[in-house]
Chains A and B, each alone.
Chain A
C-alpha cells in the first residue's frame, strides 16, 4: 500500500463515518419525542433535573447506566421506590440508612427540591429504553399493573413492587430496612395497626424511619396480610 492510498482511506473513512453519524443524529432528534416523551418535560421536571445536578447525585448513582457505581441506578427509581420513599431518602438519608453498610450524605435537600426531583425521576422512568436496567423491570411492571389491573398481580409482585425498594423477601428486593421473614417474626402489630403503620408509620411509631407509603388502603391490607401470613 502506498502513502497515497492510506491517505485516501483516511479521508473516505472519516467522512463516511461522520456522514452516517450526523444523519443518525438528525434522526435521533426526530424520534426523540417518541422515546423520551419530551412533551412531558415540564418546568418542574427541568427544576428536578437541576436538583439532580446541584447535589452531584450522578457521581454516586448511575442514571441510564452512566455515572458512579457507588449507589443504585436511578433510571427506574420512581417505580422502584415511589415518591414518598424518594423524598424521605434524599431529605433524611441518615435515618433511612442508619443501619446500612453504605451511607448517603446529608445534602440539605429542601422539600421543594425533593418534590421537583421526584417529578424529574418520574419523567426519566418513562423513557422507552428497552427495559434497562433489567433488575428494575419487575418494579415497573408491578407499578403499572397496580395502577391498571391489580387483579392480574400475584400477591408477591404487589408486595415486592411496593416494598422491594427497601425490604427484601427470599433474597429479592433491597435489604436496607429488614427482611419480611424477620419482620413477620418480630412484629407485635395486629392487622389494623400494621395497615395504619404502612400508610403512615409515624402515627404508630414516632421513631420509625419508614416514610408513608403511596399505596391504596386495599394494597396496604394485602401487604399486611402477606406479612402476617409469614408468621
Chain B
C-alpha cells in the first residue's frame, strides 16, 4: 500500500518532528521525577528549576500532539476529499513557523522568558507566530475541504475541531488583572481543548482510520461520529464547570459542573463500543495486527484514563480532597496517554508504512514498544495515584504539613521514576520502530 496523493507527503516531516519531541518530553518527565525523588543541591535548582523543566515537559507534550494532529489531518484530507491538498508550500511554511516558535520557546524558558501561566508559558510574541501558523493551517485545510470531490461528515468535523482549537488558544494570550477570571478562561483553553476541540479531532481521525482499516460502511461510521461528538460537546462544554469548584464562584457550578462532567464518560464508552463493533464487523482482513492493537488500545485506554479516572476525580465531594494533589497527576498522565498519545501513534502506524509502500510491516519491536508503554504507564499512574491518596490522607485528613507528607511520599516518587524509565524505553522502541519500518518477509504473510 502506498500513498494515493502526492501532497500527503507533507505529513511525513510533521510526524517525524512529532516523534522526536515525544521522546524529549518523556526524558524531561524523568528529570521531573528525579526532582521529586531526591534532594537536589541548591546550585542545580538555581540553574535549572523544576518550574522550567515542567514548562518544557508540558509544552513539548502540547507541541508533539498538535504536530501529530496537523500531520494526521494533512495525511487523511486528500484521501477523504479525493483531491490534493490546497497547498503543500503553505504546509511546509506552517511547519517551519511552528517549529521555530517551539524551539525559541524552549530555549526562552531556560533563560526565564515566560508568560508564567502553566501550560501556556509561551510569551506573547511567540504566541503571535503560533497564531499565524494556525491561520495558515486553517486556511489550507478549509480550502482543501471546500474544493473536495466528495462531501463527508469527517471533513467538517475535523475542520470544526481545528477552528475551535485555534479560537480557544486566543483566550490564553491576554493578561488578566484578576486571578479568578484568569483561571476561568485558562480552562476555556485547557479543558475545552482536551474535553472539546481535541475530542472532535480525535473522533474524526479515529472514524477515518477505522473506516479505512475495517472497511465498514461509511454511513454507519459517520452516524456514530455525529452521536459521539454531539455527546462530547454536550457534556464537555458545561462540564468545564468541574474546574470552577474552588476558584471563587457561585454554588451552582458544583451542580452544573458535577452533573455534566459525570456524563462525560458516556461518549468515550460509545467510542469503545463502536470501535469494537466495527472491528468485529470488519470487511477487510487484518493485515497489520499492531495497527489494530493500537486502535483497540486507544479506545480502552481513552475510556480508563479520561473516562473512569476523570469521572471519580471530578465529583465535587471527592474533588474537595483530591484537587491539586498527585491524584491530578495520575489522572492527567493516563488521560493524555490514553486519549492523545495513543491517537497520534495509531495514526502514525497507519500512515508511515504507506510512505514506504509497505503493506505488511515487521511488527515485533513495535509490539514490545506498545506493551512496554501500556503496562509501565498503567503502573506509573497507579504509583502517582497511591502517592496522591497518601498526600490527601496525610495533609487533608491527618492535618500533617506539606513537607512531612511529601517526605513520606518519596518512596512512591522513586517508584514513579522507575516506571517512567521503563516507559521511556518503550517510547524509544516505538519511535525507533516507526522510523525504521521494514516489510515483513513474504513467507509469514
Tell whether A and B belong to one assembly.
yes
- B247 and A129 within 8 A (CB): yes
Stretch at the interface among A29-37, A141-149, A184-192, A207-215: A29-37
Contact A35 B250 (CB under 8 A): yes
Min Cβ gap A181→B in Å is: 14
Asked if B234 is an interface residue, CB under 8 A from chain A, the answer is yes
**Apart from the given pairs A127-B179, A135-B402, 10 other A-B contacts in the complex at a CB distance below 8 Å:** A3-B222, A6-B227, A10-B229, A17-B260, A35-B250, A41-B177, A49-B177, A68-B50, A69-B325, A102-B39
Task: Give 8 A-B contacts (CB < 8 Å), ordered by A residue.
Answer: A17-B235, A17-B238, A18-B237, A31-B249, A36-B178, A53-B116, A56-B121, A134-B320
The 3 closest A-B pairs by CB, nearest first: A53-B116, A65-B324, A13-B234
In contact, A70 and B54 (Cβ under 8 angstroms): yes
> Which applies to chain B's interface (DSSP): helix, strand, loop or mixed?
helix
Q: Which of these binds chain B: A164-172, A196-204, A221-229?
A: A164-172
Q: What residues of chain B lie closer than 8 Å to A66, measured between beta carbons?
A: 118, 183, 186, 243, 324
Given known contacts A13-B230, A101-B407, A128 and B237 CB-to-CB distance under 8 angstroms:
no
| Segment 258-304 of B: residues with Cβ below 8 Å from A | 260
Chain B 18-55 interface 0/1 with A at a Cβ cutoff of 8 Å (1 = within): 00000000000000000110011110011001111011
Binds A, one of B77-85, B131-139, B351-359, B392-400: B392-400
B202-238, CB under 8 A of A: which get 1 and which 0?
0000000000000000010011101101110111111
Nearest residue, chain B, Cβ from A70: B50
Q: How far is the CA of A28 from the CA of B180 in the complex (A)?
A: 10
A residues near B231, Cβ cutoff 8 Å: 9, 13
Q: Which residues of A contact B50 (CB under 8 A)?
A: 59-60, 68, 70
Residues on the A chain within 8 Å of B116, using CB: 52-58
- The reply to whether A129 and B227 contact each other, CB–CB distance below 8 Å, is no
Contact with A along B79-103 (1 / 0, CB 8 A): 0000000000000000000000000
A175 engages B404 (CB within 8 Å): yes
Interface presence of B423 (CB below 8 A): no
Q: How far is the CB of A4 from chain B (nearest CB, A)?
A: 9
- Neighbour of B396 across the interface among A25, A36, A133, CB < 8 A: A133
A57 close to B249 (CB less than 8 A): no
Chain A contact-residue range equals 35 or more
User: Is the beta-carbon distance between A174 and B402 smaller than 8 angstroms?
Assistant: yes
- Let me know if B54 and A10 touch, CB within 8 A: no
Residues of B within 8 A of A (CB): 35-36, 39-42, 45-46, 49-52, 54-55, 112, 114-118, 121, 175, 177-181, 183-184, 186, 219, 222-224, 226-227, 229-231, 233-238, 240-241, 243-250, 252-253, 256, 260, 320-321, 323-326, 328-329, 395-396, 398-404, 406-407, 410
CB-based nearest B residue for A65: B324
Q: Is the CB of B324 within 8 A of A17?
A: no
Query: Least Cβ distance of A134 to chain B in Å?
Result: 5
- Give min CB distance, A131 to chain B, whole Å: 9
**Known A-B contacts A7-B226, A64-B246, A124-B179; A100 and B121 likewise in contact (beta carbons under 8 Å):** no
A105: interface (CB < 8 Å) = yes
- A173 CB-CB contact with B under 8 Å: yes
Is A94 part of the contact surface with B, judged by Cβ < 8 Å? yes
Total A-B Cβ pairs within 8 A:
224
Kindly provide the distance from the CB of A182 to the nearest chain B CB, expressed in whole angstroms. 14
Separation of A52 and B117 alpha carbons in the complex (Å)? 9
Binding site for B on A (CB under 8 A): 1-3, 6-7, 9-14, 16-18, 20-21, 24-25, 27-29, 31-32, 35-36, 38, 41, 45-46, 49-50, 52-60, 62-73, 94, 100-106, 120, 124, 127-130, 132-135, 138, 164, 168, 171-176
Q: Is A60 touching B54 in the complex (CB atoms < 8 A)?
A: yes
Residues of A within 8 A of B240 (CB): 21
The answer to whether B324 and A69 have CB atoms under 8 Å apart is yes
The reply to whether B178 and A56 form a contact with Cβ atoms under 8 Å apart is no
Contacts of B235 in A (CB 8 A): 17
From residue A172, how far is it (CB to closest CB) to chain B in Å?
5
Query: What distance in Å separates the Cβ of B345 from its nearest Cβ neighbour in chain A?
Result: 27
Question: Contact between A176 and B260 (Cβ–Cβ < 8 Å)?
Answer: no
A29 to B231, CA, bound (A): 27
Contact of B49 among A21, A105, A124 (CB under 8 A): A105
**Contact of A28 with B184 in the complex, beta carbons under 8 Å:** yes
Contacts of B177 in A (CB 8 A): 41, 45-46, 49
Distance between A141 CB and nearest chain B CB, rounded to angstroms: 13
Q: Decide: A172 and B403 in contact? CB cutoff 8 A.
A: no
Contact A63 to B238, CB < 8 A, known contacts A36-B248, A70-B35? no
| Of A59, A63, A94, the contact of B54 (CB 8 Å cutoff) | A59
CB contacts (< 8 Å) of B121 on chain A: these are: 56, 59
Complex CA gap A20/B236 in Å reads 12
Q: Which one of A11, A17, A35, A53 has the highest number of Cβ atoms from chain B below 10 Å of its Cβ?
A: A17
* Cα–Cα, bound, A65→B183 (Å): 10
Q: Which residues of B contact A27 (CB under 8 A)?
A: 250
In the bound complex, what is the Cα–Cα distance between A50 and B114 (angstroms)?
11
Q: A58-B117, A64-B247 are in contact. Are A3 and B226 (CB under 8 A)?
A: yes
CB distance from A18 to the nearest CB of B (A): 6
B224 to chain A, nearest CB (A): 8
A139 to B73, CA, bound (A): 52
A28 to B244, CA, bound (A): 10
Query: What A residues does B328 contact at CB under 8 A?
Result: 69
Q: State whether A9 touches B401 (Cβ < 8 A).
A: no
CB distance from A81 to the nearest CB of B (A): 12
Contact B401 A17 (CB under 8 A): no
Residues of A within 8 A of B114 (CB): 53-54, 56
**Which B residues are in CB contact (< 8 Å) with A64?**
179-180, 183, 246-248
Is the pair A65, B402 in contact by a Cβ cutoff of 8 Å?
Answer: no
Q: How close is A160's CB to chain B, nearest CB, in angstroms?
A: 10
Q: Whole-angstrom distance from the CB of B112 to the nearest CB of chain A?
A: 7
How distant is A136 from chain B, measured CB to nearest CB, in Å? Answer: 10
Q: Which of A18, A25, A55, A102 has the most CB of B within 10 A?
A: A102
- Decide yes or no: A53 and B229 within 8 Å by CB, A24-B256, A65-B324, A133-B396 being known contacts: no
- Min CB–CB distance A61 → chain B (angstroms): 9
Complex contacts, B324 vs chain A, CB 8 Å:
62, 65-66, 69, 73, 133
